[in-house]
Structure 1
Amino acid sequence: MPDLSPKIDAAALRDRLATPDAPRLLDVRTPAEFAASHIPGSYNVPLDTLREHSAELRGSLDEVVLVCRTGGRAAQAERALVEAGMTNVHILDGGIVAWDAADAPLNRNRSRWDLERQVRLVAGLLVLLGVVGGVAVPGLEWLAAAVGAGLTIAALTNTCMMGMLLAKLPFNRAPACDAERMVALLRDRRP
């Protein structure tokens, strides 16, 4: 499917947010990632929730900018909304990382690690365990090879199975996003 909606960079989005007809910002990261840092005024609608309720969201939104860490999940959310019939959908180019690099306002809660940092920690520990443990337990070094293969596949497909698994752990879960409440909130707060 061709890219039907343009990406918007951080500077252009800041300008648009200052206008009376500002688009809605939907952050499709996990609730824990959203709690750690988010753009003021954005709404957390995790990717799975957005996919499940895309038709309802379509009826509540005129223009939307999708936000995630770097743009991968936002692109998946864009496809879901476009398939549901929305036409005025944009993606924050470079995601929260680009927004932060542009020194744009960001609500932060440093008590949580973002998912990418957790993936790096777990992958590094598994590789270290595989290499060092392979001295005592022959064959354990294949764990390091498996992690390397998984990271390669993650890069090639722009998905991360380890990240998806880590997102399901209790410390990465914040209160669930109530889709009905979110749709009502978005409908009631039209610009």
Structure 2
Amino acid sequence: MLEPEITAEDFIQQRQQPNPPILLDVREPWEFQTASLPDSLLMPMGEVTSRAHQELDPDAHIVVLCHHGVRSLSVTMWLRNQGFDNAQSLAGGIDHWSRAIDHTVPLY
């Protein structure tokens, strides 16, 4: 089984491979509108339990994103308990991404 968290650097490499991970953004819509990453699926944390089984493939590699990595790790662990064994949390969230990877993504 994959580690519960993935670094931004490892995620960049995986996004460049064929069949990249699904990027699941579990922040609120206003946060998503403020700063987001391309090709991400918005599913606010409060909606994950009702939407995950309908919209996500349990066999897919899913990288979960939030602001700092706390909500995403919580959602990752819930997904894993539901059989989504390839779910990982993006360590540091979009805040780390903005600071270390892509300075064009706004901080908030």
TM range, normalised to the smaller chain?
A: 0.7 to 0.9
- How many Å separate the matches in 1 of 2:59 and 2:73? 18
Does the aligned pair in 1 maintain the 2:23–2:41 contact within 8 Å? yes
Task: Verify the 8 A CA contact 2:64 2:87 in the aligned structure 1.
Answer: yes
Q: Take 1:50 and 1:5, find their aligned partners in 2: how far apart are those partners?
A: 21
Kindly indicate which of the two structures has a greater share of residues assigned to strand: 2
Identity across aligned pairs (percent)? 28
**Runs of 4+, deviation exceeding 6 Å:** none
Whether the 8 Å CA contact 1:58–1:84 is kept in 2: the answer is no
Which TM-score applies when normalising by structure 1? 0.51
> In the TM superposition, what are the counterparts of 1:7-26 in structure 2 within 5 Å?
7-26=5-24
Q: Aligned equivalents of 2:54 and 2:14: distance in 1?
A: 24
Q: Which runs of 5+ in 2 are unaligned?
A: none
Residues 16-50 of structure 1: per-residue CA shift (max 9 Å, x gap): 11111210000100011000001111111100111
5+ unaligned residues in a row in structure 1: which ranges? Answer: 115-191
Task: Point out which structure has higher relative CO (alpha carbons under 8 A, 6+ apart).
Answer: 2
Q: 1:5: how far off?
A: 3.5
Give matches, 1:28-67, under 5 Å: 28-59=26-57, 62-67=60-65
Cα RMSD (Å): 2.2
Of the two, which has the highest radius of gyration? 1
Paired residues, what number?
107
TM-score normalised by L of structure 2: 0.85
The 2-side partners of 1:79 and 1:102 are apart by: 25
